[in-house]
């Protein structure tokens, strides 16, 4: 699905921020803040609808027909003309196509097709006892087969679920591995009987979002299609070519949509990894690039190219050097410079805050009160330190915050269990804005030998006496 060719209308700029002076050792971890800035000069505001194929899958039980009775017909009537679409229902042990009718697997939206599709949704087959698809893997597999026959620029699955599929998630991870790079997916949860974990797995591995939709299902589906049309470059991977001493490479998007990118080795290129990335829109994207390297045979105090990052025909070298300090560093952890250390710290703090919030909510659900208060307290501390007010609002819904700065939180005796699932989804899949600003000392002179910070007027290091450059 991914293309290595950057469209001529798309502008890409790459920036890397990392500690350039590393302590040599085996299994040294090198972290870099990678920013990709995308522009779309001279391009249309939206992709033509004829370049999109969307599968709408309705994984809902019959008792909840009211949840989709009005929303689904309205969403289909709002589809842009020219888009390819198909609708799946769950009237048997496997997902079944309920529109288009007849032999055709796909419909192309126009006034007539949308009117017929909306009418057909009144009889969409839903789950009944004993007639349920075997878990989310069955829906993803069926969508993959349909989308494989529709080789358009953007291929997407919209999964509406109330969690009523039969158990069968042992095969979900395997199916997601097969689907990686084939299409993207948004998950909309209705009702209150679903588990957040598989929904978050779907959203992360298939580069979408998972959200609870209580009464706005029509607008949620319509917004998802509109977002797809703003993706000027639907499939453009990030490639990382590493030096032979680098043994592991990982890449995680931190903003605007936090998720881990699965790296695929490039056949015939043992030191190159390809990370599929989708739905590129104009704006800034922040990633954490992590390399694990050995310094056994590398020279000291020499600039080394640890990796080359490529997006289409735009390339950026990631360089650093091994340097054994004369004494323990007084700078940020790992000897990072002030600016790059704080940049990476910002990413790790955001990740830790989200993880603590999510794990604390799960602990409430599992009635582990002490764990919940400890984890939510940690999330409150980070949220207060970095100004993430949305995290504090989430915590206040289930707990009393006595002192956010010290992490003193008291979980309420009674918490509505039905509110926890949507909150866990938001903690794990909520699109974020810019990275949090880390409060710290402003960048200034540092001794290049021992990394001790110095005042702005200093000429020599107070620790080792070396002249500052």
- DSSP 3-state of 391: helix
Q: What is the pLDDT of residue 430?
A: 73
CA 190 to CA 181: how far, in whole Å? 27
- C-alpha–C-alpha distance, residues 336 and 340, integer Å: 6
Residue 230 DSSP symbol = T
Mean pLDDT in residue range 157-186? 84
pLDDT of residue 363: 94
Lowest mean pLDDT across 165-169, 202-206, 262-266, 338-342: 338-342
pLDDT category, 464, cuts 50, 70, 90? low
- pLDDT number for residue 443: 39
Which band of pLDDT confidence, cut at 50, 70 and 90, is reported for residue 345?
confident
CB 261 within 8 A of CB 290: no
Q: Which residue has the higher pLDDT, 8 or 222?
A: 222
User: What is the mean pLDDT of the segment spanning 235-257?
Assistant: 88
Is 90 exceeded by the pLDDT of residue 7? Answer: no
Residues 6+ apart with CB under 8 A from 25: 295
Predicted local confidence at residue 233, as pLDDT = 66
Mean pLDDT, residues 326-341: 45
pLDDT at 300 (0 to 100): 87
* Gap between the Cα atoms of 326 and 430, Å rounded: 45
pLDDT tens-digit series, residues 429-455: 876 655 544 433 333 455 666 655 554
Class of domain 49-229: alpha beta
In terms of phi and psi (left: phi > 0; alpha: psi -120 to 50; beta: otherwise), the region of 117 is alpha
Indicate the pLDDT class of residue 234, thresholds 50, 70 and 90: low
pLDDT of residue 352 exceeding 80, the answer is: yes
456 — pLDDT class (breaks 50, 70, 90): very low
pLDDT of residue 444: 45
Look at residue 401 in the predicted model and tell me its pLDDT: 94
pLDDT on residue 350: 82
Same fold: 10-14+22-31+233-326 with 49-229: no
Can you give the pLDDT at residue 339? Answer: 46
In percent, the amount of the chain with pLDDT more than 90 equals 39
Higher-confidence position of 106 and 7: 106
Mean confidence (pLDDT) of the chain: 83
CATH number for the domain whose boundaries are 10-14+22-31+233-326: 2.60.40.3670
Task: Give CA angle at 426 (423, 430), nearest 5°.
Answer: 170
Q: Quick check: helix, strand or coil at residue 18? A: strand
Helix (H), strand (E) at residue 380: helix 369-386
> Over the stretch 26-84, which tens digit does the pLDDT of each residue have?
888 999 999 998 887 766 667 889 999 999 999 998 888 888 888 999 999 999 999 99
Cβ neighbour number for residue 334 with a 10 Å cutoff? 17
Tokens of 182: 């084939």
Residue 144 has pLDDT above 70, yes or no: yes
Candidate from 139-148, 261-270, 398-407 with smallest mean pLDDT: 261-270
Task: Render pLDDT for 255-312 as a digit per residue (tens, 0 to 9).
Answer: 887 888 878 788 888 889 988 887 777 788 899 999 999 888 888 888 899 999 999 8
Q: What pLDDT sits at residue 337? A: 44
| Domain 345-429 fold | 1.20.120
Question: Domain residue spans in the chain?
Answer: 10-14+22-31+233-326, 49-229, 345-429
Amino acid 349: pLDDT? 82
Mean pLDDT, residues 166-189 taken together:
83
H-run or E-run covering 347: helix 338-365
């Amino acid at each position: 699905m991914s293309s290595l060719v950057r469209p001529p209308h798309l502008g890409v700029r790459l920036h890397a921020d990392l500690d350039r002076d590393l302590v040599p050792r085996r299994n040294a971890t090198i972290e870099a803040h990678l920013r990709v800035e995308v522009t779309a000069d001279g391009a249309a505001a939206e992709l033509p609808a004829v370049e999109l194929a969307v599968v709408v899958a309705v994984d809902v039980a019959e008792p909840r027909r009211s949840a989709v009775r009005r929303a689904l017909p309205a969403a289909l009537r709002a589809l842009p003309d020219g888009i390819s679409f198909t609708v799946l229902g769950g009237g048997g042990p496997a997902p079944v196509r309920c529109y288009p009718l007849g032999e055709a697997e796909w419909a192309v939206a126009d006034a007539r097709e949308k009117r017929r599709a909306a009418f057909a949704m009144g009889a969409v087959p839903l789950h009944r006892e004993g007639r349920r698809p075997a878990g989310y893997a069955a829906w993803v597999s069926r969508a993959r087969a349909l989308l494989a026959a529709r080789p358009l620029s953007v291929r997407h699955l919209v999964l509406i679920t109330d969690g009523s599929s039969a158990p069968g998630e042992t095969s979900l991870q395997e199916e997601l591995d097969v689907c990686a790079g084939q299409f993207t997916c948004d998950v909309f949860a209705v009702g209150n009987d679903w588990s957040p974990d598989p929904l978050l797995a779907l959203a992360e591995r298939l580069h979408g979002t998972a959200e609870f939709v209580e009464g706005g299902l029509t607008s949620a589906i319509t917004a998802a299609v509109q977002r797809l049309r703003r993706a000027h470059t639907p499939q453009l991977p990030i490639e990382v070519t590493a030096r032979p001493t680098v043994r592991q490479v990982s890449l995680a998007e931190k903003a605007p949509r936090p998720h881990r990118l699965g790296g695929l080795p490039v056949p015939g290129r043992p030191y190159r990894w390809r990370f599929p990335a989708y739905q590129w829109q104009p704006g800034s994207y922040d990633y954490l690039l992590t390399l694990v390297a050995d310094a056994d045979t590398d020279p000291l105090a020499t600039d080394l190219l640890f990796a080359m990052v490529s997006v289409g025909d735009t390339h950026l070298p990631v360089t650093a050097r091994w340097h054994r300090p004369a004494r323990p560093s007084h700078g940020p952890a790992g000897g990072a410079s002030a600016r790059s250390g704080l940049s990476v710290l910002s990413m790790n703090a955001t990740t830790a805050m989200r993880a603590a919030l999510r794990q604390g909510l799960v602990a409430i659900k599992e009635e582990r009160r002490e764990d919940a208060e400890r984890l939510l307290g940690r999330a409150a501390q980070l949220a207060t330190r970095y100004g993430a007010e949305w995290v504090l609002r989430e915590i206040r819904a289930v707990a009393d915050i006595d002192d956010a700065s010290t992490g003193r939180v008291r979980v309420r005796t009674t918490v509505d269990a039905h509110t926890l699932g949507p909150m866990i989804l938001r903690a794990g899949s909520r699109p974020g804005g810019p990275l949090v600003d880390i409060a710290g000392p402003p960048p200034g002179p540092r001794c290049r030998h021992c990394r001790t910070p110095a005042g702005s007027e200093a000429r020599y290091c107070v620790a080792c006496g070396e002249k500052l450059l």
